Amino acid sequence: METVLIKLGKQTVFHVGEASEVASVRRAGNELARRIGFDEVRTGEVAIVITEAATNIVKHAREGEILLRTLVAGKRAGIEIIAIDRGPGMANVARSMEDGNSTAGSYGVGLGAIGRMAPEFDVYSIEGQGTVLLMRLWDGDASVPRGDWRVGAVCLPLPSEEICGDAWEIGDDGGALCVAVADGLGHGPDAALASLPAVALAASRPELGPEQLLQLAHQALRGTRGAAMAVARVDAEAGLLRFAGVGNIAACVIEHDARRHLMSHNGIVGSNLRKVQEFTHPWTASTMLLLHSDGIATRWDLNTYPGLAFRHPGVIAAVLYRDFARQRDDATVLVLRQRTA
């Protein structure tokens, strides 16, 4: 049986702007790989992928970020590496990746190596706007665990904080997915004390609908600072999405180039729940669900990024984080769609 849902672990961010920072993110990747039981060969590949991606950033974009997290798919463990920069980008990614075509010292030299090491690799690059790379490496044989869903997420604390006050979770009740994003009031550890238990309910009680989950979270969060929270239930077989939100979590469904906003009511889960209202929306194999906290500005438009909607959801999340994070708050972007091929 194939794994339905690939679990994404907590993310860490590394600034990359000089050789010593390339070395520290490589060390962190090494430690992560060993901790989750990668063998020596795979650990070495993680180090090469991180080094190439980070070196590209330093050489061509001057600075950027690398995001690391662990992955779990059934009995298999993996590592996700996302590289983000606002550098010169590439005019033609496919051509840049062919080793024979990359001029010595160009971005493409590193990409060729990364493509050979990472069985899952996606790129979004626009000339003059920068590049986002997503790589996933897995333990065991060369096969790649394939879920029925493709999930991408960035969830990071504001730059001065260690602990993220935003949280997200996906639960699976065997038929439908239950997706929750919460933003604890303010930021830091006390915000996390509200957001973490709120989204944990999506994983522990995925069979509940959005409205019930918000009511349950409201009870669970009494005595905490409270949180903004949005819950979506996606039933692919029934072709239906149910949604309810309280407070400032932006949510929308994107179908081809049309974006439909999903409405939340004002209030604070845990202290002031005036109204919870469920909305429904048709769901098709090409629908994309996108949720983000208010650490991301709302003025983004996927249509201004040619081809981005076709990239891996993790690449989409990283591009929006790069270009719209407000920097003064924790930031979360969650993107979900069905695997079609």
The token pair at 303 is 């249509």
| Touching Mn ion, residues 170-229 (CB under 5 A) | 183
Size of the residue set binding Mn ion (CB under 5 A): 5
Residue 292 is a binding residue for Mn ion (CB under 5 A): no
| Touching Mn ion, residues 46-105 (CB under 5 A) | none
Residue 329 is a binding residue for Mn ion (CB under 5 A): yes
Return the closest-CA partner of residue 154 out of 288, 39, 320, 286: 320
Residue 291 is a binding residue for Mn ion (CB under 5 A): no
Q: Which is nearer to Mn ion, 57 or 325 (CB)?
A: 325
Closest separation between CB of residue 110 and Mn ion, Å? 35
Instruction: Give the sign of the dihedral formed by CA 103, CA 105, CA 107, CA 113.
Output: positive
Query: Hey, which residues does 132 pair with through a beta bridge?
Result: 84, 124
Q: Which is nearer to Mn ion, 109 or 228 (CB)?
A: 228
Q: Which is nearer to Mn ion, 46 or 250 (CB)?
A: 250
Q: Which is nearer to Mn ion, 52 or 329 (CB)?
A: 329
Single residue of 80, 115, 294, 332 touching Mn ion by CB under 5 A: 294
Closest separation between CB of residue 186 and Mn ion, Å? 8
Residue 214: what are its φ and ψ, rounded to 5°?
A: -65, -40
Contact between residue 81 and residue 119 where contact means Cβ atoms under 8 Å apart: no
Neighbours of 341 (CB within 10 A): 3
Q: Which is nearer to Mn ion, 133 or 249 (CB)?
A: 249
CA distances from 38 to 78, 173, 276 (A): 8, 30, 45
Closest separation between CB of residue 182 and Mn ion, Å? 10
- At residue 41's C-alpha, the angle toward residues 39 and 42, to 5°, is 70
Query: Interface with Mn ion by CB under 5 A: which residues?
Result: 183, 293-295, 329
